Amino acid sequence: MTAVANDNFTASDVEELERSINSLVRITHKMAAHWWIDPKTGEDLRKNPLMVPVKLALVHGEVSEALEADRTDAMDDKLPQFPGIWVELVDVLFRVGDLAGAMKYDLGPVAVAKAMVNATRADHKLENRAKAGGKKY
């Protein structure tokens, strides 16, 4: 079991984070696997070195849409029962998970390692954020 950095982030949370990230990657890539096949040639687009930058640009697009939805308090146009920012953030998760799944990036252990580092970073502590020059967000 992985050690935890604070009382708020438990060993159970660590295990759930890794499992959840791995599930998100697996499921979202399954949902979108057909976008990695050229519809005209049948070519596997994962072999194209430009696909990672293209997919990252699509993630950026979803983040920009989330920003705009938040800026305007817009409800989503396709799912009007939800705030637009919620839907766009789900799109971000879907696109990141799909990219990681397609490229076989093992993000679960990385998420745990990054969470542990962030939990112990001095510049993330409230007292340091409150100081002059500290991070507001």
Q: What DSSP string runs through 45-84?
A: GGGSTTHHHHHHHHHHHHHHHHHHHHHHTPBPSSSTTSBH
Beta strands in the chain (DSSP E): none
Across the chain, what does the average pLDDT equal? 94
* Range from 6-15, 62-71, 88-97, 112-121 carrying the lowest mean pLDDT: 6-15
Give pLDDT, residue 80: 98
pLDDT digits (tens, 9 = 90+) for 30-76: 999 999 999 999 999 999 999 999 999 999 999 999 999 999 999 99
Determine whether 35 is exposed, middle or buried from the number of CB atoms within 10 Å of its CB (0-12, 13-18, 19+).
middle
Nearest of 92, 96, 90, 100 to residue 46 by alpha carbon: 100
Give pLDDT, residue 9: 82
Q: Let me know: does 65 contact 88? Beta carbons within 8 Å.
A: yes
Give pLDDT, residue 105: 98
pLDDT digits (tens, 9 = 90+) for 34-44: 999 999 999 99
What is the reported pTM? 0.90
pLDDT at 122 > cutoff 70: yes
